Each structure stands twice: as structure tokens, then as C-alpha cells.
């Protein structure tokens, strides 16, 4: 229990105070408590400082510790009335407010808490134990051995089952393709492939070419040997493909992808560049331009009035960052979109397959100029026909027939047959717009393309266009065979 002291003003001039924290004892208000100076011995003084919890404490000749902090056994009461109370040699303050001025009960030692039998002192106890009989060397019964083996087998099966559950949980928690194998809707959301099985079929197509992949490294160059040293190898190849598809499908920032996959942001950048170049080479090496015989083989019935149509062409624009140079601004500014863009042309076979992808041009370039510079003229033959929009005034430069909606051209009205032809062509051209809408489902193209990506945007755009031939079903379900 904490001692209760009655503080009363005392007569005299002494103004001694206790230096212990939380102690308010003062010689002015109490004559029962005595005040003691610090010992001159250095080691003893350190013990006092440590016990009263005063780090870096400067001691002067006025510094005191009151008698409330010492146990009564360490205090020497004065021999005569009016004498001074003193401390025994080696006394240390141990009673404080934070321990309620009490040391508590002393904990007994092991041998103090338990009374040992007298026989243990003489050794008879141990002799009695050693004389007991044991069956350590006795052979166990066969039935008992069978029970133990069965129990061990059961425990082993339980451990294997728990291990498999933990592995499955770790796969589900880690962001990657394995996390979404059971959900086709998630695969569609993250990759734009219609199902997990569809994505795996695409993986089987490109997997044999992985051994020819050239990886982008920190130095900017790579070869097959150095790719093993690349940090991007912390992910499996199929997870790298999944990351690249996330980048295109969701338009995620590289920092976000780094957090999801647990890799460095620079590693994400190298993976994106590596796979854009790889898929550009693998998918671009396939001939997507179709012969007239193949087109007629798959020609939908809607094109029976235009049976010689080889490709339907249209242009699309991607918004880009505004350059600081006025000259560059004028080159990439699109009057149609009223902001800076990059412009590309896509060709589609009548049944919906992508058959031509041009490079990207500045937004100010006309449709006709893109048509001429894209290189499609070398693929056209006199027995072919193309279907285009009104902006493609290419009749004077193509060697084949052109199906294009008619112009009013200052006439008061169009003839009936031109109106019907315009409606028919517009009805068929809507499919190229649906194809471009599928391309724009890649949310990467919804973002403003920064200027520092101009070196790789052509590969990303071409890969996205070529992926349309592998990802989705037919534009019109009736066309599917």
C-alpha cells in the first residue's frame, strides 16, 4: 500500500526538493521525510540515476532524493532527538510512484517452492525408480503395427490434401492467368478473348515461336542467352502474355500493372515492348490478304449484288498528346476530330476478317493520301473491287472497281437507283465500323497516347488489329459456319 503523508508547512529556511519524477516531496511542507544527496561513488551513483529514470541527468550539490524511495531497512534513524537520518552503505532507491512504492512479493526459487522428499537427499528415491521394470525391448503386436501404419497413411493423405489446398489458394491470391481460369467473363474482361479455352488455343499457336523471342533488356539490346538474365523472367511466359493483354484491353498504367504482378515498373515496360515486338513479328508473318477464290468461298449472301468485293476500307483515328512545336501540331491536328490524332487504315474481307492494316499517319493526312502511301495498291487487281466511304476519292489511282456512296454533286436530287445503291453500300459498310468498334474496345486506345510512345505505337496498333482475327467470333452470327 502507498504510504499517506500529510504535507504541512514547516518552519525553517530549507527548500530541498526530491528529483524523482512524479514525486512532489519538499522540505518546506514536511518534516517527516528526509532528503539525501547522491553518493560520491561513480558506480553507486549510476545505479541511482538508472533507478530514478533520469537519462542525461546533471547532478548538483543541491540535488536530493527523499527517503520515501528507500526501503526502511536501508535508513538509519538518528540516535538522539534532532539528529539527521542517514542511509546505510550501498543503499539504492527502489520505491517509486510507477511501482506503487512497493517491491511486491519476492518470487521463490524452484527448490524453495517445492519440498523435496527426504529420500531424494539420500539417493534412495533414484534407486527405487531405476529398479522398475520396462518393456522397451519387447516386440509390438502385429495388430498394433497395422494400426500405426494405417494412421500414418491417413495423416500423410491429410497433409497432401492441405498442401494442395494451400497451393490453390496461393494461385488464386496471386494475380495472373491461373487466377481466372474458371471464369470466362473475367478472361473476356482482362484479355478480350471470348473464353479461357479460346485464349489457350491462341497460346498453342504462338508458343512454338517463343524460342525465337528477342527480349528487351536494360541495355536496349538482347539475345537468346541474355534473356535468361532478364528480370522479366520472374513471371512465366503465359503470365507475361496475360500482362500484355491487360495493358491493351484495360489501358492500365504500368505502375498499376507492377503492383498487381509484384514486379518492378521497368520490368513491366520491358515485357510490353518485348511482347509487342514478338506478336508483331509472329502475327505479321501470317499472310492476312485473301485471294478472290477464298473470299468467294466465304462470301455472305448480303454481298450478292457486289460479288467481286475484295476488301472494305475505312480509317480510324487515335487521340495523341499535343506536341509543343506549332509545326508538329499542324501535322497531327485533325479537322474532323478537332484535336491531335494519329490516323490508320483498316481493310476487312466481306465476311469480317481483317485483311489489311496500314501504318499510322499524322492526323492531318487525307484518306486518299493514306490509301496511296499504305501500299495496298500493289495488292489490287483489275478483277477485284473495293468498298469505301465518300472520303476515299481514289477512282483515278486504283486499277479496280470502287463501290462508294454517290455524291449529290450539286444536283437537286439523286436518281432512284443511286439512292438504293447508296443505302445498300451503307448497309454493308456498317460492318467495317463494327470492326473498328471492336478495336476501340481495347481501352488503351481510349487514352491519350503520349509522345514518348510514338516509337512503339505502330507495333501496338498493328498487334491490336491482328488480334481481332483471333479473339472474337464473327461480326454477324449468321455468317458463322
Q: What is the mean pLDDT of residues 225-249?
A: 75
Distances from the Cα of 287 to the Cαs of 250, 264, 290, 361, 438, in angstroms?
28, 37, 8, 23, 21
Q: Return d(Cα 247, Cα 303) in angstroms, integer.
A: 37
Q: How far apart are CA 54 and CA 20, in angstroms?
A: 8
Rg (CA), the chain: 45
Average of pLDDT values for 127-145? 60
Position 405 pLDDT exceeds 90? no
Contacts of residue 467, defined as CB under 8 A and 6 or more positions apart, other chains included, come to: 192, 248, 279, 283
Task: State the DSSP H helix or E strand holding residue 36, giving kind and residue range, or none if neither.
Answer: strand 35-36
Within 8 A by CB and 6+ apart from 399, the residues are 377, 380, 381, 382
- Which residues are within 8 A (CB) of 276 and not within 5 positions of it... i.e. 6 or more apart? 244, 456, 459, 460, 463
pTM: 0.61
Q: 455468317: which residue's cell?
A: 479
Rounded percentage of the chain residues whose pLDDT exceeds 90: 36
> Please, which residues bridge with residue 271 across strands?
none
Q: How confident is the model at residue 274 (pLDDT cuts 50, 70, 90)?
A: very high
Instruction: Supply the pLDDT for residue 217.
Output: 81
Domains and CATH numbers, the chain: 1-105 (no CATH), 184-284 (no CATH), 292-479 (3.30.420.10)
Determine the average pLDDT of the residues in 163-181: 72
Provide the pairing of β-strand 309-319 with 385-387.
Answer: parallel
Distances (CA, A) of 24 to 2, 104, 388: 14, 23, 98
Tell me what pLDDT residue 186 has: 92
CA distance 264 to 268: 7
H helical segments located in 18-83:
42-51
At residue 347, the 3 state secondary structure works out as: strand
- pLDDT, residue 227, reads 45
Per-residue pLDDT for 224 more than 60?
no
pLDDT for residue 82 is more than 70: yes
**pLDDT value at residue 278:** 94
- Bridge partner residues of 66 (DSSP): 35
Q: Is there a contact between 340 and 334 (Cβ–Cβ < 8 Å)?
A: yes
Encode pLDDT of 278-326 as tens digits: 999 999 999 999 988 899 988 888 888 899 999 999 999 999 999 999 9
Using pLDDT thresholds of 50, 70 and 90, give the confidence band for residue 277: very high
Amino acid at each position: 500500500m502507498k504510504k499517506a503523508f500529510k504535507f504541512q508547512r514547516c518552519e525553517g529556511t530549507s527548500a530541498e526538493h526530491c528529483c524523482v519524477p512524479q514525486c512532489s516531496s519538499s522540505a518546506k511542507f514536511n518534516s517527516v521525510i528526509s532528503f539525501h544527496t547522491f553518493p560520491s561513488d561513480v558506480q553507486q551513483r549510476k545505479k541511482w540515476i538508472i533507478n530514478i529514470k533520469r537519462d542525461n541527468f546533471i547532478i548538483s550539490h543541491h540535488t536530493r532524493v527523499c527517503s520515501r524511495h528507500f526501503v526502511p531497512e536501508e535508513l538509519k534513524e538518528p540516535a538522539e532527538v534532532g539528529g539527521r537520518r542517514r542511509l546505510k552503505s550501498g543503499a539504492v532507491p527502489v520505491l517509486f510512484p510507477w511501482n506503487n512504492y512497493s517491491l511486491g512479493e519476492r518470487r521463490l526459487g524452484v527448490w524453495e517452492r517445492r519440498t523435496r522428499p527426504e529420500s531424494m537427499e539420500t539417493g534412495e528415491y533414484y534407486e527405487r525408480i531405476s529398479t522398475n521394470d520396462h518393456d522397451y525391448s519387447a516386440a509390438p503386436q502385429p495388430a498394433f503395427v497395422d494400426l500405426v501404419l494405417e494412421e500414418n497413411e491417413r495423416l500423410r493423405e491429410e497433409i497432401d490434401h492441405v498442401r494442395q489446398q494451400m497451393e490453390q489458394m496461393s494461385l488464386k491470391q496471386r494475380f495472373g492467368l491461373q487466377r481466372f481460369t474458371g471464369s470466362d467473363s473475367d478472361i473476356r474482361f482482362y484479355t478480350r478473348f471470348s473464353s479461357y479455352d479460346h485464349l489457350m488455343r491462341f497460346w498453342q499457336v504462338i508458343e512454338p515461336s517463343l524460342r525465337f523471342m528477342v527480349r528487351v533488356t536494360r541495355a536496349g539490346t538482347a539475345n537468346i542467352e541474355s534473356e535468361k538474365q532478364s528480370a522479366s523472367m520472374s513471371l512465366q511466359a503465359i503470365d507475361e502474355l496475360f500482362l500484355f493483354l491487360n495493358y491493351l484491353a484495360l489501358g492500365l498504367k504500368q505502375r498499376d500493372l507492377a503492383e498487381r504482378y509484384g514486379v518492378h515498373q521497368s520490368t513491366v515496360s520491358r515485357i510490353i515492348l518485348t511482347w509487342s515486338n514478338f506478336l508483331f513479328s509472329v502475327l505479321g508473318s501470317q499472310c492476312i490478304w485473301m485471294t478472290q477464290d477464298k473470299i468467294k468461298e466465304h462470301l455472305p449472301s448480303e454481298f450478292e449484288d457486289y460479288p467481286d468485293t475484295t476488301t472494305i476500307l475505312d480509317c480510324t483515328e487515335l487521340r495523341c498528346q499535343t506536341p509543343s512545336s506549332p509545326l508538329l501540331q499542324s501535322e497531327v491536328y485533325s479537322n474532323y476530330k478537332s484535336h491531335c490524332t494519329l490516323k490508320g487504315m483498316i481493310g476487312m474481307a466481306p465476311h469480317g476478317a481483317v485483311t489489311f492494316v496500314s501504318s499510322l499517319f499524322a492526323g492531318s493526312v487525307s484518306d486518299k493520301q493514306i490509301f496511296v502511301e499504305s501500299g495496298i495498291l500493289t495488292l489490287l487487281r483489275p478483277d477485284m473491287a473495293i468498298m469505301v466511304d465518300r472520303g476515299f476519292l481514289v477512282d483515278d489511282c486504283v486499277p479496280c472497281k470502287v463501290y462508294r456512296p454517290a455524291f449529290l454533286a450539286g444536283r437537286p436530287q439523286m436518281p432512284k437507283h443511286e439512292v438504293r445503291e447508296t443505302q445498300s453500300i451503307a448497309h454493308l459498310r456498317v460492318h467495317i465500323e463494327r470492326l473498328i468498334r471492336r478495336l476501340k474496345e481495347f481501352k488503351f486506345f481510349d487514352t491519350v497516347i503520349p509522345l514518348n510512345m510514338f516509337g512503339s505505337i505502330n507495333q501496338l496498333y498493328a498487334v491490336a488489329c491482328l488480334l481481332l482475327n483471333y479473339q472474337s467470333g464473327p461480326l454477324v452470327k449468321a455468317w458463322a459456319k
